[in-house]
Structure 1
Amino acid sequence: MKRKYIVGLHILFWTLLITNNVINSIAATRAHNTVIDSAVIFKDIMLVAGYNSIMILCFYGSYFLVSPALFLRKNYLKALLMTAVLLFLMTGWRYLLEFWFFKPVLGFDNYKGNNVSVSYYVSNIFWYYFPKYFVYGLLYFSAENWIRNRNRQEALQREKLSTELAFLRSQINPHFLFNTINDIYSLTYQKSDEAPVALLKLSKILRYMLYEGARDKVPLHHEVEYLNDLVELQRIGSKGLANISFEIEGYVGGQEVAPLLFVAFVENAFKHGVLNDPDKPVCIQLKASNQQVEFSVSNSTVVSGTQKDQTSGIGLSNIKRRLELIYPGKHELIISEQERYSVYLKIQLGS
């Protein structure tokens, strides 16, 4: 459901609830007073709206402040801190309503002249509002998050079915593949020692695409080996003239990532980059830790990274879609087209 409709439903719900409470309050007032004028009705409306605003603050404070830390980030200390902040906000808001509006403007004293301590305020709010509206906010967020995750999983399944064949066909540029096969043939004809090495790397690449590429997650070091084989084949295809820098920093091991996410960027750099200029090499860099992976590619030729490359398959737009589905809110993709075309991708690992 679109966000504007959800917001509309929330507004409608609270409007109906407050209206119902106002009607009940006026009915109770009429039962004790024979004369009901506009001033009495206005007072009832303001009192009901004011106290209901505390309920609303409790519900949405629980939803926006506490629930994300509790259910998404599993940061229980932050959730506890946000709960304390919410309790402070509710206490302050109720104090302003009762002593700066209800009493001086409406002439309503909820405590009939008695002094109220801070501890009473905090205790009353905690035991009256929190067991209901605070819990309601947690439950609503939990249910919404469960529905969101289920919808995302269904979208992932649909996306996987629709793009799996495209991945298998097009992760390597067809021209690059054909040229590599021709180069391997030439090496074989010349009885070069590089021929079996090149053939083995090509076999590994195709095997990785067919078997590893169909999995949801693969070890990061497998993805790095795949990219390294791709770089070596590119060097063979350029007769050793390709100037490619492939640097790896940090720990590259069993961290799991979605397969075939980086290859489109590398392939794009090979296709559009100037490979024979030693002063401007194609630069590929991967930095990894247990928490995140940073991947960057740059070359000396500026090309558009937003258009689909008809000759290289699914293109960057589909990679962006996969990132949105697999790593929602946990990735950063920056494509720059300044002096050098560059792509920077950061992925947060873990749940």
Structure 2
Amino acid sequence: MMKSLDVKLLRFYLWTGLAFLFLSAFSSLHIYPNRFLALAFNNLWGVIYVTVLNFILFEYSVPFVLRKRKFVINNILLGIFLLWVHMILYSYCYYVWRLLGIQLGIYTPLKSFSSLGQALENQMAYSVGSVFFFGIVRHVYNYTKLKQATQQLRIQKQEAELNYLRSQTNPHFLFNTLNNIYSLARDKSDLAPESILRLSKILRFMLYETGGDYISIEQEIKIIDDYISLETLRYDETLRINFNYDIEDMKQAVPPLLLIPLVENAFKHGVSETRDQPFVDVHLSLRQRQLSFVVKNSAEAVSAEGGVKENIGLANLRRQLELLYKEFTLFVQHEKAVFTAELKINLSSHV
């Protein structure tokens, strides 16, 4: 079955042929300095022929020889035969093409040959030069296309993984919040209706505001503030909460729900497990595209050997950061009865 013609590939050969035309014309100019116009037409006539031949060679003959067959000897025999055919095309047939150009008045014979063998040798040298030129450029072209395709595949894979991680964030957040509301409902708390109302506001935001790649930092602050308000309903006045921020421009763009996992972690794995003097301190700073987000919360004291074990929320966040930014740090520390999570991002380093 014949290979279908690719318009981009045809355009590539036309541009490569044009480049070879200029190269061959200017390389002969020092021999015939006063015959530039004749050289231009001669080389144009020759380039038309070798461009078509090189297109057939690299796009049909070579792939046909390299096609997988039952016996390798068949490939070898085909290769020898097609090599002989192309040598005829690049020498004898090219000489006939030159004669045709002379007859049509397109080709000007600037050089005379003492024999047919000398003429064929000259034509063959030109043809072999074109094969090397087209072959090298074709290799670079293939390499560039392969690199671009690999890069595109990598980007698509990262986007798919990022979308998967984001799709995990919402159900994980919703599950934890519903557990909190369930606790209020089970205790027949009067705060249960209000908590459901606050949750509906958060869900509305998630459904209609977080569909794109970015939201404003102002919207991210609002969702954090709403979430803190929702969580506060579960605790009495002993819980101390401090949320402050220093933002240079409230319209700066950040990925949606990027910061909420650290706040959620502070309540679920910190405050909810603290018996005495629970607290959550949240500080957000964004200046000159440098974001700093520090969350400190009370936690049960652990031994020094225990270390910090990242839960699914933190691990998910770290992977999202790896896919989104080149320059970031996510530092977590559990020291005595205080858990600290510190996130720093250079927003200009977006992948």
* TM superposition score normalised by structure 1: 0.48
Higher relative contact order (CA 8 A, sep 6+): 1
Structure of larger gyration radius? 2
* TM superposition score normalised by structure 2: 0.48
